[in-house]
Structure 1
């Protein structure tokens, strides 16, 4: 493993082990003309591959290295990581990944989780939404309502697969398109309880002071209702400028790039055991 690698690089490209070694050897080479540098890349690559597939694998490795070097020359802040390194660091990728040529972006609050650059914003926001719902449920919420304030709205919530687990969801317009869209994105009625707890291993919670205040008030003082925000304002450098930098280099963002939108969703509801009527509505 490259000793210079630290958990915390925002953008990575995972490549075969031997290609990673050749890549680093080529980067460490002294400055020279393009022709001699290309020759050094080829020499480095072929030294790591043996027959009978040395020529084929070597050529593939050279093309991949040139692609990455091109992206770096254009200003892309990428770190090359080998397959072995990604496994030893126990990095988590989407199912079926990592793949060659694909750029991955690090989760904003978990340095071991990486999403494809194309779906980064959707997956990060979806994870944040899921975590706050999990937190409120563990705290004993019997009613939860999520309303759009700004940014991503019903079209986006529909792409997340958000739907309310109640019969009221249809009338609330959850994830539906229409001439007049309701501001309600999610609405649920739960059994609720009076034994509040804070789940372990939460990712976003340590960075959300309002979530912490609500949880503390519920656990220590029996809070009966809540009103908090789900915010997503930072683009973490994955924006139009980043997309333009990578475009044309041969690197893959992992699909159609989903643009960032500064978003605020309001979450309100109540805690405690649901009423008999409330349970019947579930």
Structure 2
């Protein structure tokens, strides 16, 4: 492929030679004209080189097929073209009487000097490596060799390797001009070209924000992640700068949970003097931001999907939040969750109950507690349904690591992603789950039921066990006297065996960062267990032998018990409803309030005609006159909390100073999160101010 810049430098040089003239010497001008247009048998200059001799020159001078021949001087006898001098876009080649081509490439040459009717060629070490005689290039025109020095130096300069700073400056100038012209798509392509060709991350943050502006946040974050991973581990400036923009992108998308993780990295690694585009210290900005995201995380912890908060590790201080399986929390600032007596303990792993969001259990015995809890609830339901006898026995149990021995010790400096270990610490792994169950649960029980069957209150597992629900229906039909239920440990095993390896690695890594080493005293926690099956055999008393209750009362009692159970379950899930207004409103009342706002928007008053129409609308919507007065009073004189008033005051100040900038919007959003005001409520407060 032709080296276009070098080729252009040659063509430009020929044009300059062509324009050389001396008004007092017509011979000189005529000689130059003839020179640049020459096509003699022993001297050819581009573009006047016949196609039929080009293959001959390539072969005799051992030229690359991709080289463009620009000048040929034939020194051979009989014009056989096997001796002489050739200039190409890649360099020049000389063949003497020995017929051995000697190649000199522009990229290896420092410069060319003109002196004593010759051109002297110097290599990168400033050593003279070749001499070009006047006869090679001047073709009997005195003084022409001087111009050839300029041409050849221009060709050399096009192939000099530019520094990273020079290359970056060229791209940056082009990028800046396109941004100023509003051509973001073209600017993005320039930045992507630089990233691809130079394999550097200088434009990565700008690429990410351009993708964000185009609504392609997934691609934006992918770019940042790829380039952060490519940087050297000790490049704290580059990694911190890109991670700062990464968490800022998360904030733009209201993803404060992931923003918290990335923000911590910046607080731990950003150099003190590193500034963002607004000349603000990245370290100080991230430190302030982290506290906001941390407060949000703790406040909304139980609102996360179960798999996001299933496993937690309380720590005394944060060192790393990059874990994918673990939720790491500050032991001194815990969410609203409950632990067993004597807990939590720092650097210990806990598992969340699948149906009681606020309940967390130590990982080492969570399977036992969950299966015990499940069996007890089933037994309680059976007892309420009139059971006379309950027998529990094991169908099978085994461990895929039974009787195996493992020696491991993890020392500081190990990447938890590798899950590697070395050292020594002996122990034997055995599966004691069923033995523990038999010690905690009575395996044989007898009852003497008196009451008519009904469901107990505050059930946890029942809503998620279809077989139990069918059993209840069968029992209430009166024909069921015996039943066998099988309960498997894998169905209450919230941590899959496939997850254990990564969980173990992440817990170890956290421990290494705190203490510098890992002793394998609890390694058996992370060993996968095979499924254990418990068979529960139940015998029931006949329905007609139990206390009589009317069908209607039975149905009412069952519905009430089910509703109480469902209500308890829904409450335990901890769904938080953010009120848009300080008073509860139905959709119909919101419709009325919207019309009321519309009447007030123009002059802040309601005319008699508008009042008559509002009253007619109120009646049609079924809203009482008193309730309408409450809604109107709130709209005209809203009651705000201290936090809402603080937010509204800051918003008012920003509005008074003119159009709110993107930076101010971001700071207002941070303040909103800090004050624990929902986004909808903030918009309502802003609208009320704009209305007034």
Q: Report TM bin, short chain.
A: 0.5 to 0.7
Deviation at 1:205, TM superposition (A): 0.8
Is this contact kept in 1: 2:331–2:346, CA < 8 A?
no
Aligned to 2:433: 156
- 1:73 equivalenced with 2:73 (yes/no): no
472, 485, 505: which one aligns with 1:228:
485
**Which runs of 5 or more residues in structure 2 are unaligned?**
1-258, 273-281, 292-313, 400-430, 543-692
Q: CA deviation at 1:209?
A: 0.9
Change in CA separation of 1:152 and 1:144 when aligned onto 2, cut-off 3 Å: farther
Report 1:212-227 matches (<5 A). Answer: 212-227=469-484
Alpha-carbon offset, residue 98 of structure 1: 2.3
Using a 3 Å threshold, how does the CA distance of structure 1 residues 243 and 207 change in structure 2: closer, same or farther? same
The 8 Å contact of residues 315 and 330 in structure 2, kept in 1 or not, is answered as no
- Residue in structure 2 matched with residue 86 of structure 1 by the alignment: 335
In 2, Cα distance between equivalents of 1:63 and 1:147: 43
In the other structure, the counterpart of 2:504 is 243
Is 1:269 aligned with 2:538?
yes
The C-alpha deviation readout for 1:160-203, integer Å capped at 9, x for no partner, is: 32354xxxxxxxxxxxxxxxxxxxxx222222345111111111
Counterpart Cα distance in 2 of 1:203 and 1:32: 42
Corresponding position: 1:28 with 2:263? yes
Match of 1:175 in 2: none
TM-score normalised by length of structure 2: 0.26
Q: Which is richer in strand?
A: 1
Contact 1:64–1:101 (CA<8 Å) still a contact in 2? no
The 1:62/1:187 distance shift into structure 2, 3 A limit, reads: closer
Name the counterpart of 2:459: 202
TM-score norm. by structure 1 comes to 0.59
Give the corresponding residue for 1:257. 525
Whole-Å Cα distance in 1 between the matches of residues 264 and 435 of structure 2? Answer: 50
Which residue of the other structure, out of 119, 125, 148, is the alignment partner of 2:365?
119
Deviation at 1:210, TM superposition (A): 0.9
The corresponding residue for 1:104 is 350
Distance of 1:232 and 1:158 partners within structure 2: 13
Q: Is the 8 A contact 2:317 2:330 kept in 1?
A: no
Look up the match of 1:172.
none
- In 2, are the aligned partners of 1:205 and 1:211 still within 8 Å (CA)? yes
SS of match in other structure, 1:144: strand
Q: Give the whole-Å Cα distance in 2 for the aligned partners of 1:152 and 1:130.
A: 23
User: Secondary structure at 1:246's aligned position in 2?
Assistant: helix
Relative to structure 1, the CA distance from residue 98 to residue 270 in structure 2 (aligned partners, 3 Å threshold; closer, same or farther) is same
- The CA RMSD over aligned residues, in Å, is 4.1
Q: Which runs of 5+ in 1 are unaligned?
A: 1-23, 49-60, 165-185, 274-282
Matches within 5 A, 1:4-15: none
Question: How many residue pairs are counted as aligned between the two chains?
Answer: 208
- Contact 1:141-1:193 at 8 Å conserved across structures: no
Cα contact 1:229–1:266 (8 A) shared by 2: yes
